Amino acid sequence: MRTASELNIGERAVIGDVDNSHPSFRRLLEIGFTPGQEIELISASIFNDPLAFSLRGTLIAIRKHEARCIILL
C-alpha cells in the first residue's frame, strides 16, 4: 500500500482513500484530498518534509506524517 509520502518529485498518482484514524484526515478532505483526485508531488522541503502537492489546480503543502494517511491507488 503506497501513500502520498512515498511519491517522487514530478510523479503523479490518484488518491484511493484517506485514513480516518489520523487527526488531520478531516482537514485533508476539506482542503480537497479526496479519493479519485489526481495529485502530483511538486517539491519537498529540506529533510523531505513538508511536501508540496499539486491538487485541484492549486498547490498545497502538508507535513510528511499527514501525507502518510493519503493512500494511493
Partner 1 sequence: MTIPTSEKTNLITLVGPPNSGKTTLFNLLSGKNFKTVNYPGSTVEYSTCKILSKFGIESNILDSPGIISLCPNSPDEEVAVNSLYNHPEFGSPNLVITTVDASQISRHLLLSRQLIKSGFKVIVVLTMNDILERKGFKIDEHLLTQLIGCDVVVINGRTGEGLSDLIKIIKAKLNHLLNSNSICLKQNVERISKEELLSEYREIASIEKRIIIPVSSISKAQLDNVNKNIKILNPSAKYGNNRPDELTLKIDRILLSKKWGLLFFFLIMAITFSSIFWIAEPFMGYVDNLFSYLSSSAANILGANWYSDLIADGIISGTGSVLVFLPQILILFLILGLLEDTGYLARGAMLIDRPLSKIGLNGKSFVPLLSGFACAIPAILSARTISNRRERFLTIFIIPLMSCSARLPVYALLIAFLTPQDKLWLAGIILAIIYLGSIVSSMIIAAIINKFRKGIIQTEDNSSFILELPTYRMPRLKNVFRNTFENAKQYIFRAGPIILVLSIAIWFLTYFPNHSPQINTEGLSDDEIVNMIAAERLSSSYAADLGKFIQPVMKPLGMDWRIGVSLLAAFTAREVFVSSLALIFKVTDEENIQSSILTAMRSAKNEETGKPLFTPSTIIGLIVFFIFAMQCLSTIAVSKKETGSWRIPLLQLIIFTSIAYIFTFLTVNLIRFAGFS
Binding site for partner 1 (CB under 8 A): 18, 20, 23-32, 34-35, 42-47, 49-50, 52, 54, 56-63, 66
Angle at the Cα of 44 (from 63 to 35), degrees rounded to 5?
Answer: 55
Q: Is the dihedral of CA 60, 64, 68, 69 positive or negative?
A: negative
Helix (H, G, I), strand (E, B) or coil at 72: strand
In the complex, the smallest distance separating the C-beta of residue 2 from partner 1, rounded to whole angstroms, is: 20
Residue placing its CB nearer to partner 1 in the complex, 1 or 57: 57
Residue placing its CB nearer to partner 1 in the complex, 13 or 44: 44
